[in-house]
Amino acid sequence: MEIEIGLIETLLVALLILFAGYFCNSKISFLRNNNIPEPVVGGIVFSLIAAIAYSYFNIELNFDMSFKKPFMTIFFTTVGLGASFKLLLKGGPKVVLFLIVTSMYLILQNAVGVSLALASDMNPLMGLLGGSVTLSGGHGNGATYADLFITEYNMSGGVFELAMAAATMGLVLGGLVGGPVSKRLIKRYDLKAGEYHEELDDTITFNPEDHDLVTPKKMMETLFVILSCMVIGHLGHMALKEAGVVLPSFLIPLLFGVLATNLCEFSKCYNLSRACVDLWGTMALSIFLAMALMSLKIWELANLAGPMMVIILIQTAVLMMFAYFITFRIMGKNYDAAIMAGGHCGFGLGATPTAVANMEALVARHGPSPQAFLVVPLVGAFFIDITNALVIQLYLSLPFVGN
């Protein structure tokens, strides 16, 4: 028996899923300590209930997903609006260097995923799902590209479920391996925390100005900028599609977001509220993920879960070696570099909060590293999503991957 759920009811259920995730995370320390996103937790709980209803009572819920794509595009547009070149330069050469290192790893991560998929006689797009799409990209990115692979590349069902499973597994592993990598580096090279210098506080960009308060007017102004980028980006996307260039629907709005935020900063014609941008992005991503996970069909996952698990475990080993031998050395081969290596493990497999959690656990035992807490969150929160989208598009343009 199929039950049709209307648009408003679908949005209501999505919010209930979010609140269920918040409740579970507040009660279960494992979920909270590993930074599993609330929409993912609530969505998995809901999908288990839906699977029971389908298996034992033959009940299948069909939701109206009209809001899903707009929420996804809003999120990625806010990613673009957060990519300030002035912010990048203000962070100093270490931020630029770390962005280069992590971008190099994105290329390697997808090379490993695609190679393993081809070696396993799988669709090479599955290798991208087991690469930077879900591991460096997270759940939002995974859900977006799963939808793209189904609609534009004719992949079969179960892709979305696999993407969510890969992103969740990456989050957990990212929280587990970062600490051991950094601890091994600190012990091997007998590294010590440097003295804390107060002047470093002046360079930290994760500080909204005191007067930059969130008000209804600023939220609406920010929404106007977001929607403007989305409309112009949609027109650009359709023009490129007619010309035979297939790109993710969110990529052009994201790039217009980058253009808009930097034009505003350099021309000083408008002061875009970073706090409002973050709020719109967080809300849009949470609702998008909840809506996406509402249709999660666990029973379609079994055939592909095994090979994907092998790919992710190998990806974990590769990232640990990369962080140990490359990230650490390029970032200076000192205590701060060791902490950054642990952070790289966090968001190379999971997300920026996982990276920060790894570093917090390390500095609590070994001493402060203000430079690491400047560099890693800045790259992970504002810039890596941009380079990740470009690297994924590069791989999709390869004839043996995207065609």
pLDDT tens for residues 279-293? 998 898 888 878 877
Q: Is 380 helix (H, G, I), strand (E, B) or coil?
A: helix
pLDDT tens for residues 119-145? 988 899 999 999 999 999 888 788 888
> How confident is the model at residue 384, as a pLDDT?
87
93 pLDDT band, cuts 50/70/90, is confident
Q: Is 60 helix (H, G, I), strand (E, B) or coil?
A: strand
204 pLDDT band, cuts 50/70/90, is very low
Whether the Cβ atoms of residue 99 and residue 330 lie closer than 8 Å to each other: no
pTM of the model: 0.71
CA Rg, the chain, in Å?
21
Tokens 């005191």 locate to 210
219 compared with 362, residue with greater pLDDT: 219
Compute the mean pLDDT over every residue in the chain, rounded to the nearest whole number: 84
Say how far apart CA 319 and CA 302 lie, in whole Å: 26
Tokens linked to 74: 């809003």
Tokens linked to 231: 């409309």
The phi and psi torsions of 61 (rounded to 5 degrees) equal -95, 130
pLDDT tens for residues 315-362? 999 999 999 999 999 999 999 999 999 999 988 997 777 787 788 778
Say how far apart CA 268 and CA 36 lie, in whole Å: 38
CB neighbour list of residue 69: distance below 8 Å, 6 or more residues apart: 249
86-122 burial: b if 16+ Cβ within 10 Å, else e: ebbeebeebbeebbebbbbbbebbbebbbebbeeeeb
Mean pLDDT of 15-38: 82
Say how far apart CA 342 and CA 208 lie, in whole Å: 26
**pLDDT > 70: what percent of the chain?**
89
